[in-house]
């Protein structure tokens, strides 16, 4: 995905049931209302790059990471949020 324009004020929604690879750059000031990725288990690799850490709010980063958490090969560039751990998983280490 090289470019996308969203003037509606709504989040951008990507729906691709057979998508295997997603490469996306997020420029500063774009997609301010977030991006939602609706994919199936077919997505095995994704690379998401923010032009800068300030390009995409922390909340939008978290939401996108939740959408992509099952992707086996996930590369995040300039993200502040990189890990979401459930408390039940943490308690199993203690």
pLDDT value of position 1: 56
Q: Which two tokens stand for residue 57?
A: 């709010």
Give the pLDDT band of residue 79 (cuts 50, 70, 90).
confident
User: Looking at the whole model, is its pTM more than 0.75?
Assistant: no
Contact 56, 80 (CB under 8 A): no
Per-residue model confidence as pLDDT tens digits over 9-61 = 778 888 888 999 999 888 877 788 888 999 878 999 999 998 876 768 888 88
Q: Looking at per-residue confidence, does 89 or 51 come out higher?
A: 51
Alpha helices in the chain (DSSP H): 58-68, 87-91
pLDDT value of position 71: 92
């Amino acid at each position: 995905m090289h470019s996308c324009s969203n003037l509606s004020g709504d989040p951008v929604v990507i729906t691709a049931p057979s998508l295997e690879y997603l490469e996306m750059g997020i420029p500063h000031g774009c997609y301010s209302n977030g991006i939602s990725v609706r994919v199936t288990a077919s997505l095995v690799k994704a690379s998401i790059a923010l032009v800068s850490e300030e390009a995409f709010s922390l909340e939008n980063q978290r939401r996108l990471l939740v959408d992509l958490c099952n992707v086996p090969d996930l590369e995040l560039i300039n993200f502040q949020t990189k890990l979401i751990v459930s408390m039940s998983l943490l308690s199993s280490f203690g």
